Amino acid sequence: MSTTRDTEQRYAFEVYPKRDITIVRGEGATLWDDTGRAYIDCTAGIGVANVGHCNPAVSAAIAEQANTLITCPGIFYNDVRARAMEKLVSVAPDNLGRAFLCNSGTEAMEAAIKFARLTTGRNGFVSAMRGFHGRSLGALSATFKYREEFEPLIPGHGFVPFNNLDKLSAAIGDDTAAVILEPVQGEGGVRPADPDYLAGARKLCDERGALLILDEIQTGFGRTGRMFASQVYDVAPDIMTLAKGIAGGVPMGATLVSDRIASAAGKHGSTFGGNPLACSAAIACIDEIVSRDLPARAQALGAAFAERFRARQPGVVRELRQLGLMIGIELKAKSRPYLEALMAEGVLALPAGPTVIRLLPPLVIGEEELFTACDTLIDVLERETNT
């Protein structure tokens, strides 16, 4: 009988390097493999399962909706979609009053780029080195890596060093439709914006008639200690893109816009966008985040993790960067062998570039589980450096 691994290897047109593990079940911050072994999950499906794997409220909402109505395109009104958009806007920064719903982060970025071009009549975009915004060709045009083999991409996209306002100022011209930034660069190594950087970017955009697009696909939904990282920095974007943690694991994306953004009626769309199944999950997920105050939990647990880690910080660590439960540990060595050793010890974590270990645990993770993950990581960093 062939194993799952053999079957995937046989049939997948693979785009990911795989870890040697078959995940079959999840609950809260625990994942189980096909041998029954449990792991502490500090990946959360790459920042998706903020409310925990198989969150009971999300699962119940999906089950109920699955027996009521699964699909309903945007050409009709739908009760669940209406409530999901109302819910999203209710937790978003005050100036973002409308939502376009789609199915993933890269689609949310595609919409943002098109809406910015429609609104300004300009075609230029400035984004940050090390920034990541997705892999479809529009989003990839604003992404710093993974692009070479796919060029030419969309013309007019330029890059500036992150956290450098002088360079950003020099790059914004008469043709700049928007500046696109992550408040904390995720894939690029867990690098938070400096305290004044986003406010400075906001000011430059206002002075030059450009829009500010904040990509909160990874930072959103409580991850950084507030519902959205733009609230940590007290900066209101014209457009905010969302996905990952929006619907408890069900694929969904959203592009939230302010009144400044021109109507795109008849000019954009998505068959699955705003489908009732995903919307029911999003409503339950956002209710969980709000009613359990998961942003505050992320803030407190993130601080506790940082304190514990710094108390015994191994010599191989160059820097710990952390905002809430978005945690990056930059090493003086490649992260890959440490990630593998960590998995062998029962803790799953992510890379973010070649030398950074990234932890994105579910925000519902227990303090003891998080501390176990922290201590295991410290032990592995010490042991593997000395062998």
Ligand X SMILES: Cc1ncc(COP(=O)(O)O)c(C=O)c1O
Distance CA 306, CA 126 (A): 33
Residue with smaller CB distance to ligand X, 57 or 352: 352
Matching residue, tokens 């950087």? 197
- Catalytic residue (choose from 132, 144, 162, 305): 132
Is 197 among the residues that bind ligand X (CB under 6 A)? Answer: no
Is 215 among the residues that bind ligand X (CB under 6 A)? Answer: yes
Is 223 among the residues that bind ligand X (CB under 6 A)? Answer: no
244 in active site:
yes
132 in active site:
yes
- Catalytic residue (choose from 215, 221, 238, 305): 215
Given the rule CB under 6 A, which of 105-113, 203-211, 224-232, 258-266 is the region that contacts ligand X?
Answer: 105-113
Residue with smaller CB distance to ligand X, 168 or 254: 254
The token pair that represents 10 in the structure block: 């046989």
Minimum CB–partner distance for residue 34 and ligand X (Å): 25
Report CA 314 to chain centroid distance, whole Å.
Answer: 28
Minimum CB–partner distance for residue 167 and ligand X (Å): 21
215 in active site:
yes
Which of 239, 243, 278, 347 touches ligand X (CB under 6 A)? 243
Which of 28, 52, 93, 105 touches ligand X (CB under 6 A)? 105
Minimum CB–partner distance for residue 299 and ligand X (Å): 20
Given the rule CB under 6 A, which of 62-70, 103-111, 147-155, 362-370 is the region that contacts ligand X?
Answer: 103-111
The token pair that represents 3 in the structure block: 């194993």
Residue with smaller CB distance to ligand X, 255 or 376: 255
Q: List strands edge to edge, sheet with 326-331.
A: 317-323, 326-331, 356-359, 350-351
Distance CA 181, CA 239 (A): 11
Give bridge partners of residue 27 from the DSSP assignment. 30
Q: Hey, what amino acid is at 129?
A: M
Lay out the site mask for ligand X across 45-74 (x = CB under 6 A, - = otherwise).
Answer: -x----------------------------
Binding to ligand X (CB under 6 A) within 108-137 occurs at 109, 132-134
Which of 120, 176, 218, 322 touches ligand X (CB under 6 A)? 218
Residue nearest to ligand X (CB): 105
CA-wise closest residue to 201 among 170, 169, 231, 225: 169
Binding to ligand X (CB under 6 A) within 27-46 occurs at 46
Distance from first CA to last CA of the chain, Å, rounded?
38
Is 141 among the residues that bind ligand X (CB under 6 A)? Answer: no
Is 305 among the residues that bind ligand X (CB under 6 A)? Answer: no
Q: How many residues bind ligand X (CB under 6 A)?
A: 15
Is 100 among the residues that bind ligand X (CB under 6 A)? Answer: no
Q: Which residues bind ligand X (CB under 6 A)?
A: 46, 104-106, 109, 132-134, 182, 186-187, 215, 217-218, 243
Positions annotated as catalytic residues are 132, 215, 244
